[in-house]
Structure 1
């Protein structure tokens, strides 16, 4: 029987335009460009939330950030949430995770403890890496000036040590079914890599796009607060942006990924390769930096490639939430009811098939351990492949036509002629919130100035109850009205199980 092996590779803070295969010929990414040529490149792939932990929570639990308590950095996932590593391991698949995890509720580096299901011999989060270093080495590896001051070499970096372990796993477990993750922190700051990669971009300047001069007049208030006077004034006529360390580290990450791809290619039955990144970076798009409570293309539109099922370009909207069920389909493992996205395996095998009518995105909070980054800024969004809607609960909303306005300069939320589109996308967002047991759901998402839905503007809202269906790992939940196992997870609130209503035992 043919082995089924899947290698999942991800980076941190890598925009689509940081790869040559996505159209930027100035980027030196030969290994990922090769992967794109040998597999399927997804042109409309999106994260669920443009922040490290929330993005990862969707990928590695199969649930939206709002469903698994992963809606902010530094929040531990709910203790009754299983990772796909645990689920696949329990199905007989050898699972190993090498690299940045960011899902255990610890600080940026993690707790150094292997979660259930993953092979402890290969567990290597950033805390494990730092534990190998002296205090002096720890400090140096977190300072960007160390690249030149201390002549950073490959073996000093986290990415290189992750790739070493991934290659070792591939070589030692070539005769097994397995699911291997290599999750790089690179090219995320402080962008540490050998100087030769930085030198590739010493004369390179980021082209100044129209939206880097966005004055944000028709955008939500919190975007203007985020930009502040400093950033709004930065993109003047003589503005220049030369992030040579960031881009150098981007090419370095490509090099380390290439080592893993080469190791996989040594075997007659090559493993399936899935590659993506968690989110992007604004880099002064819309006068903003970093990432945060917005759904602009710069931070939500992510690279995604899958090798092993033919070649081509998929132009349909897909999401990180689709990855877990798709991986289970690849292994022939039943897809749990807890997964909130649908498998796109049929689309992987035939890019002409479109599996998603919409992809959904959100934001809760950037960080819980400290102030900053806007605090609590709840938003929900949907993209249908052309139009993107963003509901910013505490400020104002957005609608963009990416076909006519790919840089998202014109907010159409109050423009005449878009009523049908607004209502359709609004309904899709609300349906998704209620279908996924979004804990932040309520009438306030429905009654918006541009679409007054007041039918459910009551204390009981939609009068529904929704219970978890995670019966692989916990007993069937009990109906409040009868104390008996529920037969329908979604039903009217206060409505007892019809099988027993009015009957005596």
Structure 2
């Protein structure tokens, strides 16, 4: 039986934590098998260059939820509470008559470590009508959620990804109002560490040979800041490889659950009127450039490259899009693809005309990437701040240092320049190893960065930085 509401599209957004774009088969990973995510991409639109503007959990989620840049609110990397007065992604869908439901990790209430097992108050749930959420868990076999304003902690049986996909299907099947379209955001922590997955998934990966990038375990010959937090300790390269295998096992578990959801939509007759999208908040380094497996707060592609797949059954032509997107594009694009009014004044672009084939490309070429300065006296996650451009060919970054070493307090200087057309793994920093005409290119990109920062009300950050090769 068809359950289509004329002219009203349902929307399901699957948000996976720490899922780098390069780790999916449809994006070219030679190790993993993700047939259901591949099926979603094959029937829809796959963006090849979606970027996490600020590649850490909290600031990405703030920008997804509000459409604003992290620097606009001085959002630090972690342990930060969003103002409940912020206009959220739920609001335009509520106003359009949708049933809105949020499930899973929130990470916008600033609940301090390790007291995560307390509810997010109803007034700080950003007006999602139905709530099955938690602030943070990081324990995939002992996960929980709170429903609406009920203070009772409810346990997820088994593995988190399995449980929250089951809960999503149960709510959409049994509890949603059937006379309204729905907007559902499902946020699961895996493949974010800890590195754990069901035994049936891990068993397929135990001792399997991996095809690794040339940057694996290869330190750069210039200063690259690391986290000031303590990521999971890796004893040696074998321990790092073990974690990479489990990371792939978590991704294959996610893929199986995506398939379960897609099959349920087909069975219920909802597939033809439901848009399904897969995104991630950021990637992880996975040992590339010698960084710890779990690290993500970096300008390297392993950290900022995220999947963005949109399967809209009303769009007949499947396509791959190479335009560069940023986090701030998601809010207006999700409104646009559902036919919901896009709020005015947002810095991101509504890419729905591109998805529907009504536009050949975005007028904008490059997007901002950033790490915002930690200003709290006891902030311990990331010390340096960074701003940069990610374009279709070049990536250019500027780094500001907080303390000691190469980048002392307040010291700011051009940091990286990569020609990704010639150097997709970002192994050759052209600021250190220039080619002919590099100086002219670097100065042009620097001026473009200054212009973009000024347009984003962030021009003060880069003042005092000399032009490269000046």
Tell me, yes or no, whether TM beats 0.5. Answer: yes
> Does structure 2 retain, via aligned residues, the 8 Å contact 1:45–1:303?
yes
Answer whether contact 1:124 1:162 (CA < 8 A) is retained.
Answer: no
1:105 aligns with 2:110: yes
Are the counterparts in 2 of residues 40 and 306 from structure 1 also a CA contact under 8 Å?
A: yes
Larger RCO, structure (CA 8 Å, separation 6 or more): 2
Report the CA distance shift for 1:362/1:162 in structure 2 as closer, same or farther (over 3 A). same
What is the Cα deviation at residue 80 of structure 1? 3.6
Displacement after TM superposition at 1:222 (Å)? 2.5
User: Once the two structures are superposed, what CA deviation does each residue of 1:357-413 show, in whole Å capped at 9, x if it has no partner?
Assistant: 11211112589696544x331101111111001111223511001110111111112
Aligned to 1:413: 431
Which residue does 1:273 correspond to in 2?
276
Find 2:27's aligned residue among 22, 25, 35.
22
8 Å CA contact 1:41–1:313 kept in 2: the answer is: yes
Partner Cα separation in structure 1 for residue 455 and residue 227 of structure 2: 33
Q: TM-score normalised to the size of structure 2?
A: 0.81
Contact 2:100 2:184 in 1 (8 A): yes
Residues 186 and 19 of structure 1: is their aligned pair in 2 closer, same or farther, counting only changes over 3 Å? same
Q: Distance in 2 between matches of 1:450 and 1:104?
A: 40
Change (3 A) 1:451 1:349: farther
Is 2:380 aligned against 1:360?
no
Matched with 1:432 is: 452
For residues 204-223 of structure 1, what are the structure 2 equivalents within 5 Å?
A: 204-217=208-221, 219-222=222-225
Structure-1-length-normalised TM-score: 0.76
**Unaligned ranges ≥5, structure 1:** 131-137, 143-153, 453-505
Whether the 8 Å CA contact 2:120–2:134 is kept in 1: the answer is yes
SS of equivalent residue, structure 2 residue 133: coil
Bigger Rg over Cα: 1
Root-mean-square deviation (CA), in Å?
3.2
- Give the equivalent residue in structure 1 for 2:127: 117
Per-residue deviation, 1:343? 0.9
In structure 2, the CA distance between the partners of 1:239 and 1:331, relative to structure 1 (3 Å rule), is closer
Tell me the equivalent position of 1:287. Answer: 290
- Residue 498 of structure 1 aligns with which residue? none
Q: Distance in 1 between matches of 2:140 and 2:289?
A: 33
Give SS of 2:31's match.
Answer: coil
CA distance in 1, matches of 2:215, 2:191: 23
Counterpart CA distance in 1 for 2:172 and 2:444 is 47
Residue 323 of structure 1, CA deviation? 1.1
SS at match of 2:384: strand
Residue 278 of structure 1 and its aligned partner are, at CA, apart by: 1.0
C-alpha distance in structure 2 between counterparts of 1:117 and 1:402, whole Å:
41
- Quick one: structure 1 residues 353 and 107, their matched pair in 2 at CA, closer, same or farther if it must change by over 3 Å? same
Residue in structure 2 matching 1:327, options 334, 340, 350? 334
What is the CA-CA distance between 1:223 and the residue it aligns to? Answer: 5.3
Equivalent pair of 2:227/2:383 in contact (CA under 8 Å): no
Aligned with 2:172 (options 170, 191, 215)? 170
Distance across 2 between alignment mates of 1:419 and 1:193: 48
For residue 33 of structure 1, report the CA deviation from its aligned partner: 1.2
Unaligned stretches of 5+ residues in structure 2:
1-5, 144-155, 402-406, 408-412
Partner of 1:200: 204
